[in-house]
Amino acid sequence: MYHVFYILSAVGDKCTPHGGSFLGFPTWYKYLSGIETVNGQTSANVCLPKVVQLNDIWLIAAALLEILLRIAGLAAISFIIYGGFQYIASRGEPDKTSGALQTIINALVGLTIAIGATVLVTFIAGRFN
């Protein structure tokens, strides 16, 4: 019986804020905990992110860094596509072909670094949360 009252007393204290993401990017408050409040217009419970300690600032910075790394990954994918177009347009000329292949290789290395860094940031920020 004690566990039921403990669980019911915890309701409303903490929640996980969630919201729409733009093009699949995480929100700036992805790693923050939230506090449940009542919306004055609709009288519905709303979960808002809360920032109460210095650790929360680092969690916001980690979420922003993750957004930037995902943008870097998209840039790398666009360079892979650009290198593919260069390769097609080279028409067998050795200099243009090697330049296009170098663009593709550099973009793949950048994409690998961006994915690895995103995974690392997600892992570390998830541990602090």
Q: pLDDT for 13-64, tens place per residue?
A: 567 776 666 677 777 888 788 777 776 665 567 778 888 888 888 888 888 9
Q: pLDDT for 66-105, tens place per residue?
A: 999 999 999 999 999 999 999 999 998 999 999 999 999 9
- Torsion angle of the four alpha carbons 86, 67, 18, 38, in this order, in degrees rounded to the nearest 10: -130
Distance of CA 22 to the CA centre of its chain: 11
Q: What's the predicted TM-score (pTM) here?
A: 0.73
